[in-house]
C-alpha cells in the first residue's frame, strides 16, 4: 500500500516569525496613514456591494473546484463535485491558518490520497492547478500592461511583470526539460538527499503526464482566465463598496502583481505584504494609503470569512475513504 503524503506539521517558531513580519509591516503602514480616513471609509461602507463580492468569491472557489476536477479526471480520478468542493474549502482554511502558503494544498493532497490511494497523481493535480492559475494571472497582467502602458510609466510595475513572466517560463521549462531534470537529480545525490529520488521521480512522472492531457490543460487555463478575471472584479467591487474611484482597467494590472508579491512566504496569509504592495501600486493612480490599506484589509476579511467555512468542513470530517461518493 502506498504511503500517504505527510501531513503539514506547523512550525511554531516559523509562524511567530511570520506573524512578527506581518505586524511590523502593518504597524509601519498605519504609522504613515491617516487612521481617521480609514475609519471614515469603513463607516460609509456600502454593504450590498460588499455582500455581492462575498457571493462572487464563493462562486470563484466553485470555479476553482471545477478546474481541479477536470485535472483529476484526466488522471482517471473521479470524485463527486460536492466532495471536491468540501475538500477545496478545507484547503482554503488551512492555507489561511497554517504558517505556509501550501499547507492547504498538502491537506487537499492528503485527503485525495485517502479517497483514491493515488499519491503522486493527487499532488500533481494540485500543482498543475496552481500553475494554470499562475499562467492566467501573468497573461492578464501582461495584456493589461501592454494596453495600459501609455497611462502608466512605472519601471517597478513593468519589471515586476516581466520578472513574473520569466519566472513562470523558467518553472515550466524546468518541469519539461529532460536535461534540467537529470541535473536536478544529480544535485540531490550530491547533497545527500538521493533517498528522495525515487519518490520525486514518480511525482515528476505524474506531472509530465499532464503534458499529454492537452485538452484538460486548455480547460484548466481557460477556467483560470475566467477565475482570475472574476477575482479582479471582486477586488473592484470591494473598492466600490468603500466608495473608491479607481478605474477598473488598473485593477487588471495591479491585482495580479499584488497577488504575486503576496505569495512571498514571509508573512501570515500575505498580511502586511499585500497591504504594502497595494499602497505602492494604487498610489500610481492617485489612491491614498488609507484607501489602499482599507481595500486590501477588506479583501482579506472577505477571503478569511469564506475560508472559515472550510474550518466547519474540517470539524465535521470526511467519510472513510472506502465509502465512495
With left for phi above 0 and alpha for psi between -120 and 50, is residue 246 left, alpha or beta? Answer: beta
Range of lowest pLDDT (33-47, 85-99, 180-194, 278-292): 180-194
Mean pLDDT of all residues in 90-114: 83
Question: What pLDDT is recorded for position 145?
Answer: 85
Across 113-124, average pLDDT: 83
- The three-class DSSP label of residue 285 is coil
Q: What local confidence, expressed as pLDDT, does residue 96 receive?
A: 83
The DSSP annotation for 175-227 comes to HH-HHHHHHHHHHHHHTT-GGGHHHHHHHHHHHHHGGG-HHHHHHHHHHHHHH
The alpha carbon of 294 is separated from its chain's Cα centroid by a whole number of angstroms, namely 21
- Cell numbers 478569511 correspond to 304
Over residues 182-201, the pLDDT tens digits come to 676 667 666 665 555 666 66
Higher pLDDT, 72 or 318: 72
Higher pLDDT, 44 or 214: 44
Give the ranges where 44-177 is alpha helix by DSSP (H): 47-74, 81-97, 103-116, 119-148, 155-176
Is the Cβ–Cβ distance between 111 and 92 less than 8 Å? no
pTM as predicted: 0.85
Is pLDDT of 319 > 60? no
Contacts of range 55-63, beta carbons closer than 8 Å, 24 or more positions apart: 56/230, 56/233, 56/234, 56/237, 57/231, 57/234, 57/302, 57/303, 57/306, 58/306, 59/230, 60/227, 60/230, 60/231, 60/234, 61/85, 61/88, 61/89, 61/92, 61/306, 63/223, 63/226, 63/227, 63/230
pLDDT for position 67: 95
By mean pLDDT, which of 87-101, 124-138, 217-231 is the weakest? 87-101
**Mean pLDDT computed over 72-88:** 92
Structure confidence at residue 18 (pLDDT): 86
The pLDDT assigned to 47 comes to 95
Which has more confidence, 21 or 187? 21
Give me the mean pLDDT over the 227-252 stretch. 95
- Could you tell me if 46 and 243 are in contact, meaning their C-beta atoms sit under 8 angstroms apart? yes
Q: Taking all residues of the chain, what is their mean pLDDT, rounded to a whole number?
A: 85
What average pLDDT score do residues 255-271 get? 88
pLDDT of residue 15: 76
pLDDT at 136 (0 to 100): 93
CA angle 297, 301, 304 (to 5 degrees): 130
For the chain, the first-to-last Cα distance in angstroms comes to 22
pLDDT above 90 covers what percent of the chain? 47
- Label residue 25 by pLDDT band (50, 70, 90): very high
The three three-digit cell numbers of residue 193, written as one number: 538527499
- Residue partners of 288: CB distance under 8 A and separation at least 6: 34, 37
For 4-18, 46-60, 98-112, 269-283, which range has the lowest pLDDT when averaged over its residues? 4-18
170-180 mean pLDDT: 75
Amino acid at each position: 500500500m502506498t504511503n500517504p503524503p505527510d501531513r503539514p506539521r506547523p512550525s511554531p517558531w516559523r509562524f511567530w516569525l511570520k506573524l512578527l513580519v506581518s505586524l511590523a509591516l502593518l504597524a509601519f503602514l498605519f504609522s504613515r496613514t491617516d487612521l481617521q480616513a480609514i475609519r471614515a471609509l469603513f463607516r460609509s461602507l456600502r454593504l450590498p456591494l460588499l455582500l455581492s463580492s462575498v457571493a462572487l468569491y464563493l462562486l470563484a472557489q466553485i470555479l476553482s473546484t471545477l478546474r481541479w476536477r477536470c485535472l483529476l479526471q484526466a488522471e482517471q480520478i473521479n470524485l463527486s463535485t460536492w466532495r471536491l468542493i468540501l475538500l477545496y474549502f478545507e484547503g482554503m482554511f488551512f492555507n489561511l491558518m497554517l504558517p505556509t502558503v501550501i499547507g492547504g494544498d498538502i491537506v487537499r493532497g492528503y485527503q485525495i490520497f485517502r479517497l483514491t490511494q493515488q499519491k503522486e497523481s493527487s499532488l500533481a493535480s494540485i500543482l498543475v492547478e496552481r500553475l494554470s492559475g499562475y499562467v492566467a494571472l501573468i497573461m492578464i497582467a501582461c495584456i493589461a500592461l501592454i494596453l495600459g502602458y501609455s497611462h502608466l510609466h512605472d519601471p517597478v510595475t513593468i519589471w515586476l511583470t516581466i520578472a513574473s513572466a520569466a519566472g513562470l517560463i523558467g518553472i515550466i521549462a524546468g518541469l519539461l526539460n529532460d536535461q534540467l531534470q537529470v541535473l536536478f537529480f544529480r544535485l540531490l545525490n550530491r547533497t545527500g538527499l538521493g533517498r528522495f529520488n525515487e519518490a520525486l521521480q514518480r511525482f515528476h512522472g505524474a506531472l509530465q503526464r499532464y503534458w499529454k492531457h492537452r485538452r484538460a490543460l486548455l480547460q484548466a487555463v481557460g477556467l483560470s482566465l475566467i477565475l482570475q478575471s472574476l477575482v479582479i472584479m471582486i477586488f473592484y467591487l470591494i473598492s466600490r463598496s468603500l466608495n473608491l474611484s479607481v478605474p477598473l482597467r488598473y485593477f487588471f494590472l495591479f491585482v495580479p502583481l499584488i497577488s504575486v508579491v503576496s505569495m512571498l512566504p514571509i508573512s501570515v496569509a500575505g498580511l502586511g505584504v499585500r497591504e504594502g504592495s497595494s499602497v505602492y501600486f494604487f498610489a500610481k493612480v492617485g489612491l491614498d494609503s488609507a484607501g489602499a490599506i482599507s481595500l486590501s484589509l477588506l479583501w482579506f476579511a472577505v477571503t478569511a470569512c469564506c475560508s472559515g467555512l472550510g474550518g466547519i468542513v474540517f470539524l465535521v470530517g470526511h467519510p472513510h475513504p472506502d465509502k465512495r461518493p
